[in-house]
Amino acid sequence: MLNIFIDADACPVKEETYRVADRCQLKVILVANQPMRIPEDLRYELKVVKGNFDAADDWIVENVSRGDIVITSDILLADRCLKKQARVLGPKGEEFTEDNIGGAIAMRELMGNIRSFGEVKGGPSAMNKNHRSNYLAKLDQIIQQLKKS
């Protein structure tokens, strides 16, 4: 069965994911380091994990299966989930794949080094309507592809 896992602590597209999951009748598992409100529906599950900084990531990797979908902006988590043959989607609608994850990891490292020298301040751009629209379209496309296969 196709499940959607959300790296939930800072995910800005939970509501959008709920709408798609409701329409497609999919289970959503939110994984977080702290309790949060989720819809009262048997298809939604909140898994609160305690422990180190990567405890939520570790739980997702241990429980995701081939053909599941993971929603995260964490590039290293995306890489780990791709190795388990899951589909991985960022909140702005960018899908992480075997073809682009290496470049994403390299860019993450490069930007981290540049930030450490004080050359770049701030983080990624804020979410906007186009990002949300791209996310919804890509999530729907991935679900349809998985249902066909």
Q: pLDDT tens digits, residue range 31-62?
A: 999 999 999 999 999 999 998 878 999 999 99
Quote the CA–CA distance of 47 and 51 in Å, as a whole number: 13
What domains can be seen in the chain, in order of their start residue? 3-148 (3.40.50)
pLDDT at residue 120, rounded to an integer: 67
Output the pTM of the full model.
0.89
| Percentage of residues of the chain with pLDDT beyond 90 | 75
Strands (E), the chain: 3-7, 27-32, 44-48, 69-71, 87-89, 95-96
DSSP state of 126: P
